[in-house]
Structure 1
Amino acid sequence: MTTDEMKLPASLHYVTFPSLHETPLAIAARLRVPAGGGRFPAVLILHGSAGPSAREGGYADVLNAAGFVTLEPDQWAARGLKGGAEGRPKTMVETVPDVYGARAFLAAHPSVDAERIGVMGFSFGGVASMLAATRVHNDQFLPGGSFRALMPFYPAAWTYNRVPGFEFGDLVDAPVLLVTGALDQYDNDPDVTKKLVAGLSASDAGKITLKVMAEAHHCFDMPGVDVVVSDPYANQGKGGSVVMRHNPAAMAEAHKLAVKFFSESMC
């Protein structure tokens, strides 16, 4: 791609794709394709419990500028859900077929290099990204393959290997960049992610890089957010309040980190 082509905005398309449930859901999504011809690497961007937001679009912007196709699904609309702690799916696992339906859609797209597809997600979407890193979930839908790189953001790290359905281990052969905030009140301890990785096999731990963002709450990269919510998963399962607060500096750092990680892992 030439320098002039990279300056052109990505083309925006509103699409639907089928999930890989036994009875598929028709999931709407925003697809963005960089200017220029050929096949590009792609990143699937998964929203959190609140549903689609400006956060996902911010990452799409910087990834598009770096030469990536992006796909931003709205997983809640297909289910008639409103979002939030009371308006999200009852289990995390039931959204995994959405993730692999999205990957199949990208792999079949003429502008996408099917061998270079990554995934990132935030909070609930971060959980789905974590599950996609495990063979027990990945191999149900993509035996012999996997996402090329995975980047979960603040996925309630305390839950893994402690809460049923949150098993984490026997990982696919792909790099995982796990990003959390030092002030995230779901984990309520910035060392939770370190403890999670320390409990894995040496082979699995070697696939994971941790990044703990200083002065960063849950949803630190969601423009304009400054709220306190209640969630039963907060405070390591004790429930209670969670501060969600935008940190522009941390968001800018995370945007650069995403471009660097996917560029080095897939290009």
Structure 2
Amino acid sequence: MIRTLAAAVFCFAAMQAQAAEVMLKGSFTQGGLVFGQAVPGATASLDGRPLRLTSDGRFIFGFGREAAPTATLSVTAPDGSVETRALEIAQRDYDIQRIDGIQKDYVSPPEEVLARIRADAAAAAKAREADRPETDFDSGFIWPAQGPISGVYGSQRILNGEPRQPHYGVDIAGPVGTPVMAPADGVVTLAHPEMYFSGATLIMDHGHGLSSSFLHLDKILVTEGQRVKQGEVVALMGKSGRVTGAHLDWRMNWHDERIDPALLVPPMPKTE
């Protein structure tokens, strides 16, 4: 009887330890997104930054293009015990292109449009401030459109010797009017008809600070505040803004960290 009781106590303790264990899955690399599971009622932080947790202990966090090689995750259980994990973040090599002899107005926009550019940036930043408790990202992610990949995350151009902002999304080429679908469930936080650089721009929040942006659209088919489901057609591909041809620029953010959408979807299906 005593042996049976002791075995039961040991089994219960093992179950408690297993339940309290922090589980992580995702892409531990620059541009990656990670999904976490802790014990219900826990709190967590990444490098001191508090994370939003669901009532059952789920959370997400992401790494930007220039993320350091290591990060520290700290999880505090309801009983006060703390688990600290040192995370290793793989470093990536990015495609850097040097282009000289470009017209100056293209490299440096004229002063009269700088105010508009700043206003556009402020509107986009505000749209990405959403930190809803809903976990719309539970739907998983699909490609918002299919076609040849014409631009990748992290690439950068140096124009006339001046480094430009890195490319933070993935470009999908296609004809004007190609349907653009919601890659996951979400809520529309920005539907702007014409920004200086990005043209018709749509931003969609997936919960917990995770958002998708769709640039250079021809037409936006949803309105701000509208809930959308994965696979729903939300816009049409275009060539608005500062572009050289029709394509969709799909970007993703976890708060202010730019993450790589291509890491959340399977390989692009081959197209004819």
TM range (shorter): under 0.3
Larger helix fraction of residues: 1
Asked which structure has the greater CA Rg, the reply is 2
- Provide the TM-score with structure 2 as the length reference: 0.22
